[in-house]
Amino acid sequence: WHKWEYKVYHKIGDKVKELQLARHFFFEGGRWDEKEYSMESMYASLKTLVLKDDWAKYVETLISEAQGKKDIIRLLYIYTQEKMWQEYMDYIRKNPSIYNIDDAPKDVKKLFRDEIVKLYATAVRNYFQRASNRDSYRNGVAYLRKLIRYGGSKEAEQIVSEQKSRTPRRPALIDELSKL
């Protein structure tokens, strides 16, 4: 019924209640492939409903609510939409995983290139510590290729030599690393 309520408020021009419901849908809506109530759509609605002068302060309230709910998806979405690259990088520093780095916007990867390469190299090293079969070795080599694309060819070479010397009795690993 919130959807109908939202449409009614939109039709009659009740901006305050429309804003409340848009915020509700931003955090809770769009779960069943409903593009109209998706996070992206509701964020755009929020941006049109809040005055430009008040937007920066409103974004801060959205960020604190997302942090309070531990809603990382929405938090990173806000950082991306508002081009808050320093905050996005702070999140990556606290959570340096292969997936978080791969999912980061290109602007973050470009601005913090050297740090991204170091964090990614560390994450790949950690991945190889747990790798135990040919499939995981292939995935590790794919991560090494990404590391090279990020500008870490020197780090990738170092990881390859470390792995070959650390595990000389794993022919599948040596074979997959030789395909790099």
Residue pLDDT, tens place only, 38-72: 899 999 999 999 999 999 999 999 999 999 999 99
Burial level of 177, CB count in 10 A (0-12/13-18/19+)? buried
pLDDT at site 61: 97
Alpha-carbon distance of 84 to 64, in angstroms, equals: 14
Can you list the residues of the chain whose pLDDT is less than 70?
1, 30-33
